[in-house]
Amino acid sequence: MATIMSLPTSITLFIGMAHKGDLGRPTTIYGMAQFEQIFGSDFSYGELALQVRQFFLNGGIEAIVVRIAGDDGGTPELGDYENVFSALESTVDLFNVLILPRGFEQTDDQRQLLWGAASAFCQRRRFCPLTRPAPLRASSLALTCSAASGRRQRVRMRPFWGQSGWSM
């Protein structure tokens, strides 16, 4: 009889702006101290550092973080995210939740465009989004993903820094 290998079921993929770290390279982290060592703790680049901190404070164990920036090093546009999604197709094997923290100076219109690209990324990975995009007043978009087989995973996250709309 063959043994069935168990897989992790709570890996969160964060894609956002940070002070330092390799651009576009997925980095697995297991705590906030490791995040700060690799990506810095400067919150002025956007909400990535704040939301990764909240993830670990709420019991998160494993996160994959990808630093993103626009062509000029500034605020990423939709095409920058699409390039990262494309690169992640062959480099990240498994994740259950995708979080896209608001970057420095990102507008609500830019954030709204990310929903479609992020949803398409999850679907290409044979995952399907289970939630609506967070309201525009929320600081992040989050997609809870499940295997295409229809097996659902329920995820509860507390609001990041007082934002609403996070019950998944």
Query: Residue 109's domain is classified under what CATH number?
Result: 3.30.1490.450
**Average pLDDT across the chain, whole number:** 76
Q: Residue 3: inside a domain, yes or no?
A: no
Is the per-residue pLDDT at 33 higher than 50?
yes
Overall pTM > 0.85 = no
Q: Residue 107: inside a domain, yes or no?
A: yes
Which of 7-11, 55-59, 97-101, 111-115 is the most confident on average? 55-59
Question: Is the pLDDT higher at 150 or at 92?
Answer: 92
Q: Into how many domains does the chain fold?
A: 1
Per-residue tokens: 116:
């479609």
Q: What pLDDT was estimated at residue 152?
A: 41
Kindly compute the dihedral angle of the four CA atoms of residues 68, 107, 112, 152, in this order, to the nearest 10 degrees: 50
Q: What pLDDT was estimated at residue 168?
A: 34
The percent of residues above 90 in pLDDT, for the chain, comes to 33
Q: What are the helix (H) ranges across 13-144?
A: 32-39, 48-57, 78-88, 108-124
Q: Residue 35: inside a domain, yes or no?
A: yes
Q: Residue 1: inside a domain, yes or no?
A: no
Q: Residue 23: inside a domain, yes or no?
A: yes
Q: Residue 135 belongs to what domain range? A: 11-150
> Mean pLDDT throughout 70-75?
80
Is the per-residue pLDDT at 29 higher than 80?
yes
Residue 23 pLDDT level (bands cut at 50, 70, 90):
very high
8-17, 115-124, 128-137: which has the minimum mean pLDDT?
128-137
CA distance 117 to 81: 8
Report the b/e string of 131-150 with b at 16+ CB within 10 A.
Answer: bebbeeebbbbbbbbbeeee
Q: Residue 157: inside a domain, yes or no?
A: no
- Beta strands across the sheet bearing 11-16: 27-29, 62-67, 11-16, 97-101, 140-147, 127-129
Q: Residue 162: inside a domain, yes or no?
A: no
Q: Residue 68: inside a domain, yes or no?
A: yes
